[in-house]
Chains A and B, each alone.
Chain A
Amino acid sequence: DAGVTQSPTHLIKTRGQQVTLRCSPKSGHDTVSWYQQALGQGPQFIFQYYEEEERQRGNFPDRFSGHQFPNYSSELNVNALLLGDSALYLCASSPPPGSGAEQFFGPGTRLTVL
């Protein structure tokens, strides 16, 4: 079992550009959550996808959007990048919400906005 995988590992963008990050959940998991971890801070919840729909959203602007595919993998899109979007973006997968099972995290994608 490969666990949760994310791509790319690192990327560098400039202000105003758009970026897409990808996540494949752990085998047997169908729920994907995304978190943003700024330097020196704890992760902040962005949103969660289940059955290809956004089920819950944190306090992030509409520039942050996502998608879940039928194979449960997910993408996080960020438009009109700002310097403050520089962070480690973490993907977590879990069984269906309400199962009580914990979330498994991927290694993250380090985004730098110049």
Chain B
Amino acid sequence: AQSVTQLDSHVSVSEGTPVLLRCNYSSSYSPSLFWYVQHPNKGLQLLLKYTSAATLVKGINGFEAEFKKSETSFHLTKPSAHMSDAAEYFCVVRETDSWGKLQFGAGTQVVVTP
């Protein structure tokens, strides 16, 4: 069975400072991992995905994530937060033999202060 745990429900950062969103996963097989972002009243947008290639994955808007199998983690980072980064972020796992079922974490709400 697969599961995802997002370790922080809320993160508050100052504009221009680094952002770290933590995610641990549990999977019986080699998973695919994703980070999605959800802005208010908008649909989910894919930030980046890991599918067993390079362990350091670069995404859109300056975000990146590192897959660490030994720690079963897939933390999301950004060197410098922007006001537009304020949103809800979801870590997501998909089994490789799955027909496509995505398992979402509970989400991390990011607040960016000036």
Contacts and interface: CB of A to CB of B under 8 A. Distances in A.
A65 to B, nearest CB: 18
Main secondary structure of the interface of B (DSSP, over half): loop
Contact of A107 (B32, B42, B100, B101): B42
* Band of interface residues on B: 20 to 34
Contacts of A58: 101
B104 A105 contact: no
Interface residues of A, number: 28
A48 B107 CA distance: 22
Contact of A106 (B32, B43, B102, B105): B43
Give the residue among A90, A92, A94, A102 with the most B Cβ atoms within 10 A.
A102
B49 interface: yes
Interface of B: 32, 34, 36, 41-46, 49, 51, 90, 98-107
